[in-house]
Structure 1
Amino acid sequence: MNFEKGALSNIATVISGYAFKSSWFGEGENKVIRISDIKDNLVDPIKAVHFDADKHKVAEQFIIQESDILIALSGATVGKFGVADKRAVGMYLNQRVAIIRGHNATNSAYIKYVISGQFMDNLLLLAGGAAQPNLSTKDLANMQIPIPTLDEQKCIATILDKASSICRKRKQTIALTDHLLRSLFLDMFGDPVANPKGWKVDKLNDLSTKISSGSTPKGGSKAYVEKGIPFLRSQNVWRNRVDLDDVVYLDEATHEKMEKTSLKNKDLLITKTGRINTENSSLGRAAMFAGEDDTANINGHVYLIRLKPEVINEFVLYIMTTIEYRDYIRSVCVGGIDKRQINKGHLEEFPIIAPPVELQQQFLEKLKAIEKQKIKLTKQLELANNMFAALTQQAFSGELTKQDKVA
């Protein structure tokens, strides 16, 4: 059974944000929610800007209510949304963000799942066709979605709330393992940049046998082949993780011509260029290559760091992925806001604390134990996400409510 479709406006009102002047910000007690305050499907008002509502008269229609769904209308994150909780109630909404307000609580609970899936994806494909599409309130209001009865909407929202809660708790547990490891490191070694415990400090160049950036194959992207040797770019290097989802390949002949940047097992990789004003900044992300020798290569936006045999690679990598080191990298990089770069000279001078090897080994053992547990948790999260996706598909095809009626 498939539900009949209709416009979102049948069950919700769509309201565009107000065009605040930036010169108004910084005074008064009233807060304004912007695109940057929408995070992880929630509205986070901690960094919301202030303005004086008594001085600048803004209509009440732009005031956020509890359970309002706020959605980005433009920019790199167009389509991301967050549900307003009590923290955001009474705050004002800025331009480039829209409110989707269900006609009732059941509508709102249902809509947040509708706009998180294929219906929003389909709308974005039709929204201008640009690299960064723009949505309008009219686009949202006219978006075609399944519209079951209120009882069916309530049933769907209740089931998906439970499945979503499982996914969220899995994510929180994984995040706790990261916090545990960070606390352990700081307790054992302190801030790796400020070095309050007074450890000996080495330059990265002194710990390495090779520091080199990658290169571009002759012909550039035309040299890529369907299968072959993985060619890692900055989008493949994340914090302590090499992601091959978007990897490209070189043939054996091209790879051999680029032997100077052929990777060895346990080589450290760090991104050379990128922006620093985003949550997942592409500059200075570090990871370790876990593959076999000479089975991958890197492009010019990635550095490889080959450490000496006696150096504990995992310890150096952990230092380079700390919050303190991220801030250090941002302090020494060069260039404008939209394009920063780590020069090789800066990289060679990176300070690395050198506690006794015995202490480093102790930390490494604990790191491996925590990472092993994290792998198990990640698999559980993957299963939970798959379950949620399957339930969502069943929900909008009418299967969930059908089963409920049969029961």
Structure 2
Amino acid sequence: MKTVKLGEIADLTVGFVGSMTEQYTESGVSFLRSLNIKPFEISSEDIRFISEEFNTKISKSILHEGDVVIVRTGIPGTCAVVPKEYDGCNCSDIVIVHPNNELVDSTYLAGFINFWGQKQVENNKVGAIQKHFNVHTAEEMLITLPEIDVQRKIAMLLNDINGKIKNNQKINDNLAA
């Protein structure tokens, strides 16, 4: 097991930063914001859309299946893996991590950041009024990295546990109804 900087095992960038109010459309390309990123999942609640043209214009922030997205402002450090159904969507003001899949498993990485990385995020937030987490800080984040086969086993366990949690939430929602 070794410890590496996140920037050594992944390419990082940030989603579009700027005014969005005039860019939203009724339908089109899904556009994620910080409030859509929950630990280990992406919520479609209050999701926005942008045009194909604007999506092309801000193509550096297009998300792909297996990317890890990290909240910058709001609850900094909260992260999830981009699932297949959000491949090709775009985002605003979120740290985007394109992991080297030969070195790190996306789900393992999300688990590490959601649990053990939170202290690093908390200690490195910047900003005078509203604290946020930036790309440079994310690149410097220290990640404990077991062998890739061990990471994949941990990822399978995390997926199983998260699946059971979602199933129990559905059962509770049905019982409450």
2:106 is aligned to 313
Q: Tell me the equivalent position of 2:91.
A: 298
1:326 aligns with 2:118: yes
Gaps of 5+ in 1: 1-198, 275-281, 387-407
Secondary structure at 2:88 match in 1: coil
- Secondary structure at 2:27 match in 1: coil
User: Could you say which structure has the larger radius of gyration?
Assistant: 1
The Cα offsets for residues 62-106 of structure 1, whole Å up to 9 and x where unpaired, read as xxxxxxxxxxxxxxxxxxxxxxxxxxxxxxxxxxxxxxxxxxxxx
CA contact (8 A) 1:314 1:364 kept: yes
Q: CA 1:246–1:266 in 2, change beyond 3 Å: closer, same or farther? A: same
Structure 1: distance between partners of 2:85 and 2:164 = 24
Q: Which runs of 5+ in 2 are unaligned?
A: none
| 1:316-336 superposed Cα distances (whole Å, 9 cap, x missing partner) | 1100001x4212211111224
Offset from partner CA, 1:105-147 (integer Å, 9 cap, x none): xxxxxxxxxxxxxxxxxxxxxxxxxxxxxxxxxxxxxxxxxxx
SS at match of 1:245: coil
Contact 1:237 1:285 in 2 (8 A): yes
Q: CA deviation at 1:211?
A: 0.7
What is the CA deviation profile of residues 35-59 of structure 1, one whole-angstrom value per residue up to 9, with x for unaligned ones?
Answer: xxxxxxxxxxxxxxxxxxxxxxxxx
RMSD: 1.9
Q: Deviations over 1:180-236 (max 9, x none)?
A: xxxxxxxxxxxxxxxxxxx3111111111x21111147x631110011111111111
Alignment coverage as a number of residue pairs: 176
AA in 1 matched with 2:127 = G
Q: Indicate conservation of the 8 Å contact 1:264/1:292, yes or no.
A: no
- Between the aligned partners of 1:344 and 1:230, the Cα distance in structure 2 is 23
Report the AA paired with residue 291 of structure 1.
Answer: K
How far has the Cα of 1:292 moved from its partner?
A: 4.7
Q: Shift in Å at residue 295 of structure 1?
A: 2.7
| Alpha-carbon spacing, 1:330–1:216, altered in 2? closer, same or farther (3 Å) | closer
- Seq. identity, %: 22
Query: Deviating runs (4+, > 4 A) in structure 1?
Result: none
